Amino acid sequence: MTKPDLASAQSNRFDVLVIGGGAAGLYAALSIPPQWRIGLVTKDTLSISASDWAQGGIAAAIGVDDAVSLHVADTLVAGAGLCDPKAVEHLASHASECIERLVDLGVAFDRSDGQLAMTLEAAHSRRRVLHAADTTGRAIVSILAEAVLQQPNITVFEQAFALDLWLEAGRCRGALVVHNQQLRWLSAQATVLATGGGGQVYAQTTNPAASTGDGVAMAWRAGAQLRDLEFVQFHPTSLAQPGAPPFLISEAVRGEGAHLVDNDGYRFAFDYHPDGELAPRDVVSRAIFHHLQKTGDRQVWLDLRPIPRDRVQYRFPNILQVCRHWGCDPLSDPVPVAPAAHYWMGGITTDIHSQTSIPGLYAVGENASTGVHGANRLASNSLLECLVYGAELAHLPLEPIPAALASPEPSEALALDWSEPLAEAWASVEKQRQRLTQLMWDAAAISRSQARLEDAIATLSQWRTEWQRHPLQALHNLPTGAAYSLPKTLDWPLVRAWGELHNLHDIAWLILNSAAFRTESRGGHFRQDYPQASPDWQVHTVVEGDRWTISPAVQG
């Protein structure tokens, strides 16, 4: 298969442009009717995404003792008063058909006695989480990627980066994409943002390196409405072994019976919530955070030894392999763990059909705020949301594009004031990214306060002013519709790294201001100076441009 290039003929105009190659983008592309020409842009390869890293599973009320109403009720409780009941009902009621399609496509979910196996995760009232060992996301994404590559109507641009959305007369017309030293405005009747979350804005995160909030940042710059950006979920159990990255150790491990203990072997989680290790994620993360503050330790321990050895080996082979690689064996000893940024509940406001506030622009997956997660996502609802709301793209209102409009524009060299040596440019980007992520971890992670937030906002404001003078800012002012070649002295990986940092600056600004705006604690947002939830704040935080307002939460 010949890989497409932006400079090739017929590659600049599509019926639908999908930005993102995880479960949301892939499933959306497969759901769009095959008569439409689709361009799919992914920063890495189709198999590298946060979906691919998802371990626990995908929730669906298909067990004989389960019901859609129970799944809805559990989701609403976890969402702490900010879920949209209609959106949650839509999610839960369409779960079974999405599972059936995945099975038909060839996803090899685990089975027990010939039936789909289901496990329990925190805050679920039934065993409803389907899994493929502890690499469920990988099992789903690999199958979806294979299916996408077999579709003749889908053109995939791998290792390509979308810089900005194309707006014309108040409608989204596509996006500016850099790929193989080429910059080109790709035109589309409908543009779908499926870029995932923004966990990389924090110094400690379970997200892959590509999770830099690109879709939310692009949508914000284009004027789309955003919602509830202060709600960030911190996974309680990421690997805290010295020298190891913060690898996620699935919540399903605790669902199977693992214990959280401190250095003295004490199961402290019950001091903070009657459900102990199986309390909602935000509760467990705060329990660890506060317990570490009290004890002065740097990590707690996840003890898998209460689970039968053969069960651990069957259910969690990847976790075993990674932990052993970093020098700890969960079958013999407790594993050191600590919280890390994991999932962003807020995002681009969408309706039940994945439509944003901008005509022609849609959002699916973690970069969207559909209303299903509220202030705190229920475990294993994220992969399901990618599928259910990606399937809504089957109903896009599209019209055939006249063939005469599909010829590419000529390419010209980009006039850019660029003289910095690449090595120095890379060092500068990496240094600025490191200081930004540490700022966010210190000011807007698990426990927040007005003083720290305001200090961080002031610091970031200064950094953003300096950032606006960067020579590559010229890329945000290119005339729409044209195509360009990057200067030979500038490689596209640096443009991607710069673009990601630009987006991280934007989403850090959005999270900090949203967290300062909401003066209460709810779900994934905890304020030590306002530690209780307030009925006056059972509302959504709405962001449009530089305005923060509230909108009523829909009550079930």
Backbone angles phi, psi at 466, to 5 degrees: -65, -40
Contacts of 140 (CB under 8 A, 6+ apart): 23, 51, 54, 58, 102, 107, 132, 383
DSSP letter string, 363-428 = E-GGGEE-SSSTTSPPTTHHHHHHHHHHGGGGG----PPPGGG-PPPPEEE------S-HHHHHHH
Structure tokens of 267?
């199961």
DSSP letter string, 317-354 = HHHHHHHHHTT--TTTSPEEEEEEEEEE--EEE--TTS
Number of H helices, E strands in the chain: 15, 23
Task: Locate the DSSP E strands across 231-274.
Answer: 232-239, 259-261
CA distance 83 to 219: 22
Token look-up 């064996």 returns: 329
281 is annotated as an active-site residue: yes
281, 315, 377, 433: the catalytic one is 281
User: 20: helix, coil or strand?
Assistant: coil
CB atoms within 10 A of CB 410: 6
CA distance 388 to 93: 9
CA distance 493 to 159: 9
Structure tokens of 48?
């590298």
CA distance 186 to 483: 9
Contacts of 415 (CB under 8 A, 6+ apart): none
* Catalytic positions: 281
